[in-house]
Amino acid sequence: MAYEIPAPMLAKSVPGVPDPAGTPGGLAFEPKWDGFRALVAWDGERVEIGSRGAKPLTRYFPELVDAFARLLPEPCLLDGEIVVPVERDGRRRLDWESLSQRIHPAASRVALLAEQTPAMFIAFDLLARGGRDLQPEPFRVRRAELEDLVGGMPHPISLTRTTTDAELARRWLAEFEGAGLDGVVAKPLDEPYAPGRRTMFKVKHARTADVVALGYRIHKSGTGLGSLLVGLYGRDGTLHSVGGVAAWSNRRRLELVDELEPLVERDAEGEALRGEGERSRFQSARADSSFVALRPERVLEVRYDQLEGRRFRHTVQFERWRPDRDPRSCTYEQLETVAAYDLADVLA
């Protein structure tokens, strides 16, 4: 029995924990795990792990492949998060750096990290069980089936906790950050699984976005990277420049030029292609606004404060690289939309 791994159901950002009364059928709240989104297909013989962007993750987590084959009692298709917990000061918390290092081309390195920083899987949805497709079923049914399948399963597979109490969800939002979690997710209880659609809600501790690296400008000193230009895809599939990331240390600026070298766009003679960036009205007419163009293959997560039109209003801050993300998944739809508000009401 082979399962086709679908695109995962997604979430849209909201500023606070939503009121369940505002959603027909109510909401279920879960902690938002800070890891790699993963859909796991186990057909009774083989395990396949797909990422949010359909990137295969199977080879990077051999310890999980072994655990799924040993522990899952029947063929199934699970949705969840791969995380790496580490112990610090006597407490365990999620560690993004250890997780991101697991995406490595060398099989020997993957095997070593699987022993040194073993991952675990947090299950939060069940899309198929045996020969039954559960995606058309409401979440309340899928959750009950998930609890029956993996509830009480030993490490490294765990069932995420859930509640219908919005006040408890607000407590989770405040308290779980210390364990490395990312916020809270709200799921409509009566909704079916909707691959690729943003039918869930997420409340995060910071306003962040996944963006694509488009190019970079050389630092004003003449060496190293000065700023990294980033973009988002529109609904028509066009990649739009949305702003830049700066504030690198001197050492990091030099390292980034070397790291990004394999992505530099080149002409037939092997020369790096350069693009012309937008010029600020505060910028001198003589100032160089050109940039070294990069193939849009690398994703990073950034912190931002506000979107103005189709661009970030201010320079955004680098959060981390996202090797698990497909560049095509970096769209405007992920951004939080700030509610319109009349200035007169503020002044009043």
Give the pLDDT confidence of 40-91 residue by residue, as tens digits: 999 999 999 998 766 799 999 999 999 999 999 999 999 999 999 988 777 7
Would you say domain 208-334 falls under CATH 2.40.50.140?
yes
Is the pLDDT confidence value at 167 over 50? yes
Catalytic residue among 32, 187, 202, 204: 32
Q: Which candidate, 12, 6, 13, 97, places its Cα nearest to that of 54?
A: 6
CATH 3.30.470.30, the chain: domain bounds: 10-204
- pLDDT recorded at residue 9: 95
Q: What pLDDT, in 10s, does the model give residues 80-126?
A: 999 999 887 777 888 888 999 999 999 999 999 999 999 999 999 99
Is the pLDDT confidence value at 21 over 50? yes
Is the pLDDT confidence value at 279 over 70? no
Is the pLDDT confidence value at 284 over 50? no
Q: Which candidate, 136, 146, 131, 25, places its Cα nearest to that of 78?
A: 146
CATH number of 10-204: 3.30.470.30
Q: What is the pTM of this model?
A: 0.72
> Using a CB cutoff of 8 Å and minimum separation of 24, what contacts does 41-48 make?
41/2, 41/3, 41/5, 41/77, 42/68, 42/69, 42/72, 42/75, 42/76, 42/77, 42/78, 43/1, 43/2, 43/3, 43/75, 44/1, 44/74, 44/75, 48/5
32: annotated active-site residue: yes
Report how far residue 33's alpha carbon sits from residue 133's, in angstroms, rounded to the nearest whole number.
Answer: 25
pLDDT band at 308; cut points 50, 70, 90: low
- pLDDT recorded at residue 286: 46
Report how far residue 197's alpha carbon sits from residue 229's, in angstroms, rounded to the nearest whole number.
Answer: 28
Report how far residue 195's alpha carbon sits from residue 39's, in angstroms, rounded to the nearest whole number.
Answer: 11
- pLDDT recorded at residue 163: 96
Is the pLDDT confidence value at 148 over 50? yes
CATH 2.40.50.140, the chain: domain bounds: 208-334
Is residue 47 within 8 Å of 41, Cβ to Cβ?
Answer: yes
